[in-house]
């Protein structure tokens, strides 16, 4: 997958962790602090890990004592940031045996004594739930995709990973709907949509060098792992169709993965190579790519909440997307971009043509998209939203000890999707 998470999350401007004002959490319950353990599969460079780091940073800023435990040792892209904050992940995956890993996690948690143990990847739900119970903590599982795909990918473990956690945190409203269709109770499933740090994003956009040679051609950009769920063959088919009306339109795909060879063959068969398409491979300069693009396209079959849509809208690009996951709610059809049916390649192509031919429409949609991200998906209220969920969980589970460590009120409640008109 191309590095869509290429915007490092910085300390708040003008405020360090050491000299920040006391948090409400620090002044409650005779100085005790809420302790949160995050159980990750890895701390890599994809969207799930980006949101993990956002959560850790937001709660750390609020005064929560956060520890991250990772099954894989590599911390990669986010290592320096986490290390600077004293949040470097603890490696608990030295053994391949699930039982030995569970024992290692439980041992570490007994030392930390967390009040909440929260999974950050679906496949860590089992570890977080069992270890959390063993140390007397509230356990929270998660889904980072649409639930259905995670069940398929987890094979025989899927049902247990979904149903064992007493609380499930999902990042999209469609994922919650899918969980409820599998008979999970509504009060046990909570939505925490993805966010973006706009201050950091804007700084990196301003400092990014253009990633493509200067051209007057309109560019349709797709960013993601070259894997079956992304359906980039759909993007290629729409691009080829759109170029019959706008020959200057160029497609750019940033990412790598198992479908690369097949996509190259498809592109050649459609006559897109060499002038109509650039397959760039894995890239770490997505801000520079966004600077060079005129529109962003997401063609997936299923998603949770794709971070790249937030980045595209923050960069004031119109977005064309299939109704995969939260994409259908983030992108407002006809206002910030277009939502097209999964298999309607002709409509996707027509929307590409429409945007390629109209700079004024691109500006209109781009400004509306930026405003929507600012209003709905800013990093600034993430901690409040998480605390609101923790409070509801503590009330449901009758955990007064946890309630004593949480603010009496959180300034944000669970976000509700805008009703369709």
How large is the average pLDDT for residues 106-114? 97
- Residue 419: the pLDDT is 45
Q: Is 93 helix (H, G, I), strand (E, B) or coil?
A: coil
Q: Tell whether 384 and 358 lie within a shared domain.
A: no
Q: Tell whether 84 and 204 lie within a shared domain.
A: no
Domain that holds residue 78: 29-195+379-403
63 within some domain: yes
Torsional class of 308: left (φ above 0), alpha (ψ -120 to 50), beta (otherwise): alpha
Among the candidates 339, 358, 376, a domain finishes at: 376
7 within some domain: no
302 within some domain: yes
The number of distinct structural domains making up the chain is 2
Q: Is 26 helix (H, G, I), strand (E, B) or coil?
A: coil
CA distances from 270 to 234, 263, 266, 275, 414 (A): 12, 10, 6, 12, 45
Angle ∠(219,220,223) on CA atoms, nearest 5:
120
415 within some domain: no
230 within some domain: yes
Tell which wins on pLDDT, 13 or 367.
Answer: 367
Q: Tell whether 35 and 147 lie within a shared domain.
A: yes
Band of pLDDT at residue 408, cut at 50, 70 and 90: low
Q: Tell whether 86 and 135 lie within a shared domain.
A: yes
Each residue of 115-167: pLDDT tens digit? 999 999 999 999 999 999 999 999 999 999 999 999 999 988 999 999 999 99
- Residue 257: the pLDDT is 94
DSSP character at residue 186: G
Q: Tell whether 237 and 116 lie within a shared domain.
A: no
Q: Tell whether 226 and 348 lie within a shared domain.
A: yes
- Here the tokens at position 395 are 């009330």
Q: Are 8 and 205 in contact (CB under 8 A)?
A: no
Q: What is the pTM of this model?
A: 0.86
Mean pLDDT, all residues of the chain = 88
Each residue of 210-257: pLDDT tens digit? 878 777 789 999 999 999 999 999 999 999 999 999 999 999 999 999
394 within some domain: yes
Window from 68-77, 124-133, 345-354 with minimum mean pLDDT = 68-77
How large is the average pLDDT for residues 360-386? 96
Band of pLDDT at residue 417, cut at 50, 70 and 90: very low
């Amino acid at each position: 997958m191309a590095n869509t998470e290429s915007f490092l999350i910085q300390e708040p401007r003008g405020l360090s962790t050491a000299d920040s004002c006391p948090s409400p959490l620090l002044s409650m319950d005779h100085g005790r602090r809420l302790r949160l353990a995050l159980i990750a599969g890895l701390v890599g460079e994809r969207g799930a890990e980006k949101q993990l780091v956002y959560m850790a940073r937001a709660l750390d800023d609020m005064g929560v004592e956060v520890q991250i435990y990772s099954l894989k040792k590599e911390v990669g892209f986010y290592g320096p940031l986490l290390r600077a904050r004293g949040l470097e992940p603890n490696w608990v995956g030295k053994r391949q045996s699930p039982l030995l890993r569970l024992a290692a996690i439980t041992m570490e948690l007994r030392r930390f004594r967390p009040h909440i143990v929260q999974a950050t990847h679906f496949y860590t739900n089992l570890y977080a739930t069992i270890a959390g119970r063993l140390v007397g903590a509230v356990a929270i599982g998660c889904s980072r995709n649409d639930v259905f795909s995670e069940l398929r990918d987890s094979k025989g473990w899927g049902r247990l990973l979904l149903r064992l956690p007493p609380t499930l945190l999902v990042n999209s409203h469609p994922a919650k709907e899918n969980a409820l269709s599998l008979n999970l109770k509504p009060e046990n499933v909570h939505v925490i949509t993805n966010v973006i740090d706009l201050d950091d994003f804007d700084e990196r956009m301003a400092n990014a060098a253009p990633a493509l040679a200067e051209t007057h051609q309109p560019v349709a950009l797709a960013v993601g792992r070259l894997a079956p769920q992304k359906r980039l063959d759909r993007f290629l088919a729409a691009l080829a169709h759109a170029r019959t009306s706008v020959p200057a339109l160029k497609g750019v795909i940033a990412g790598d993965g198992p479908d690369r060879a097949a996509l190259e063959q498809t592109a050649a068969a459609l006559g897109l190579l060499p002038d109509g398409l650039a397959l760039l491979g894995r890239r770490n300069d997505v801000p520079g790519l966004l600077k060079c693009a005129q529109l962003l396209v997401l063609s997936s079959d299923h998603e949770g909440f794709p971070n790249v849509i937030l980045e595209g809208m923050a960069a004031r690009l119109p977005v064309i997307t299939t109704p995969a996951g939260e994409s259908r709610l983030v992108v407002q059809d006809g206002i910030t971009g277009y939502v097209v049916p999964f298999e309607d390649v002709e409509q996707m192509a027509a929307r590409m043509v429409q945007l390629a031919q109209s700079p004024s429409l691109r500006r209109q949609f781009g400004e509306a998209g930026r405003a929507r991200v600012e209003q709905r998906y800013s990093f600034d209220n993430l901690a409040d939203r998480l605390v609101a969920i923790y409070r509801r969980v503590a009330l449901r589970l009758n955990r007064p000890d946890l309630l004593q460590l949480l603010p009496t009120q959180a300034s944000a409640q669970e976000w509700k999707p805008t009703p369709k008109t």
